[in-house]
Amino acid sequence: MKVTVVGAGAVGASCAEYIAIKNFASEVMLIDIKEGFAEGKAMDLMQCASLNGFDTKITGVTNDYSKTAGSDVAVITSGIPRKPGMTREELIGINAGIVKSVATSLIEHSPNVIIIVVSNPMDTMAYLAHKATGLPKNRIIGMGGALDSARFKFRLAEALGCPASDVDGMVIGGHSDTGMVPLIGKAARNSVKVSEFLSEERMQQVVEDTKVGGATLTKLLGTSAWYAPGAAVSAMVQAIALDSKKMFPCSALLDGEYGLTDISIGVPCIIGKNGIEKIVEIELSEAEKAKIEESAEGVKKTNALLN
């Protein structure tokens, strides 16, 4: 499998590194607009091959899309990250132009590619990629929910005083500070609902900490996070490569599912060799439904800025 990663910055390089370490792809092509940058990152990563024991060939190129030809999967991480105090939505002015041109360049050289959109504001960038390319719905996947769910599990594990591997939980809705919907009522520790262990107040704290997970890290780091984002994307690429039919919350273009149309937003999806193979409609409580509707309103407001 050939994977192109557009943007060799913090998230793109982290994603390439995890893909290589997991050793399921034959080739990763890193591409960046900054002269020599992707080449340098690729060389640095390749010098880890004998140390970390991987056979994936990582190559870097400056803005030459002919080198991405024949990609099975492409990950778009190109664009600017937010600084402390900013929202993801504030990035739209610069990132929309980048994502639009990158998505069209990718399919010119890889007509069968499955695109994973990471650049923020992610739900709107995934929607834009659909509009710009006209690709079938299964072939554009927004990454946000996989990361947000990992952060939810981290916060749940912290509250429960247990390893994250004991915890199951999912975040749906928009990938924004206010739009995320952590499904706390369905979260469990080894099949036992977390409400059996945590007070209502502690559960609400977990929900709030999860929603501002990206902002909290941005404040600490001075720019946004990259390790967990890179790991989340690599897990999705792996599910495509291995056709594993794993379920991740992904930003998918909806056509009536969850009562929503003409919007990309986080919902549970089955990921396999065809990208989004199924959107799973789970039963939501009235409160959860109201939160998803509110979240969708927020995403639609950001989408309107594209016009």
Ligand X SMILES: O=C(O)C[C@H](O)C(=O)O
The binding site for ligand NAD (CB under 6 A) comprises 6-12, 31-34, 37, 77-82, 91, 95, 98, 102, 118-120, 122, 143-144, 147, 175, 223-226, 229
Position closest to ligand X via CB: 214
Compute CA 24 distance to the chain's CA centroid, rounded to the nearest angstrom.
19
**Contact letters for ligand X, residues 72-101 (x by CB under 6 A):** ---------xx-----x-------------
CA pair distance 25, 251, nearest whole angstrom: 24
Of 58-66, 161-169, 222-230, 284-292, the segment contacting ligand X by CB under 6 A is 222-230
Of 186-194, 216-224, 231-239, 255-263, the segment contacting ligand X by CB under 6 A is 216-224
Listed in sequence order, the residues at least 6 apart from 12 whose beta carbon sits closer than 8 Å to its beta carbon are 5, 6, 30, 32, 41, 75, 77, 78, 230
Residue 218 contact partner, candidates ligand X, ligand NAD, none, CB within 5 to 8 A by sort of partner: ligand X
Q: Which amino acid is at 285?
A: S
- Choose which of 120, 210, 238, 303 interacts with ligand X (CB under 6 A): 120
Residue 224 binds to ligand X (criterion: CB under 6 A): yes
74 forms beta bridges with 4, 115
Task: Give one DSSP letter per residue of 52-106, joined into a string.
Answer: HT---EEEEEES-GGGGTT-SEEEE--SPPP-TT--GGGGHHHHHHHHHHHHHHH
Residue 272 contact partner, candidates ligand NAD, ligand X, none, CB within 5 to 8 A by sort of partner: none
Choice between 87 and 195, CB closer to ligand X: 87
Yes or no: say if 145 and 249 are a contact pair by the CB < 8 Å rule.
Answer: yes
**First and final CA of the chain: distance in angstroms?**
36
Least Å distance, CB 99 to ligand NAD, is 9
Residue 153 binds to ligand X (criterion: CB under 6 A): no
Choice between 120 and 303, CB closer to ligand X: 120
- Choose which of 218, 234, 238, 251 interacts with ligand X (CB under 6 A): 218
Choice between 224 and 295, CB closer to ligand X: 224
Contacts with ligand X by CB under 6 A: the residue count is: 12
CA pair distance 117, 253, nearest whole angstrom: 12
Residue 8 contact partner, candidates ligand NAD, ligand X, none, CB within 5 to 8 A by sort of partner: ligand NAD
Residue 270 contact partner, candidates ligand NAD, ligand X, none, CB within 5 to 8 A by sort of partner: none
Listed in sequence order, the residues at least 6 apart from 265 whose beta carbon sits closer than 8 Å to its beta carbon are 123, 172, 173, 174, 251, 252, 254, 292, 295, 296, 299
CA pair distance 180, 209, nearest whole angstrom: 11
28 forms beta bridges with 3, 58
Catalytic residues: 175
Task: Give one DSSP letter per residue of 160-214, joined into a string.
Answer: HTS-GGGEE--EEE-SSTTTEEE-GGG-EETTEEGGGTS-HHHHHHHHHHHHTHH
**Contact letters for ligand X, residues 176-215 (x by CB under 6 A):** --------------------------------------x-
Q: Within 13 Å and on the Cβ side, how many CA atoms surround 109? A: 19
Residue 11 contact partner, candidates ligand X, ligand NAD, none, CB within 5 to 8 A by sort of partner: ligand NAD
The dihedral built from the CA positions of residue 282, 283, 289 and 291, taken in this order, carries a sign that is negative
Residue 291 binds to ligand X (criterion: CB under 6 A): no
Residue stretches of the annotated binding site for NAD(+): 7-12, 32, 95, 118-120
Write out the residues near ligand X by the rule CB under 6 A.
81-82, 88, 120, 147, 175, 214, 217-218, 224-225, 229
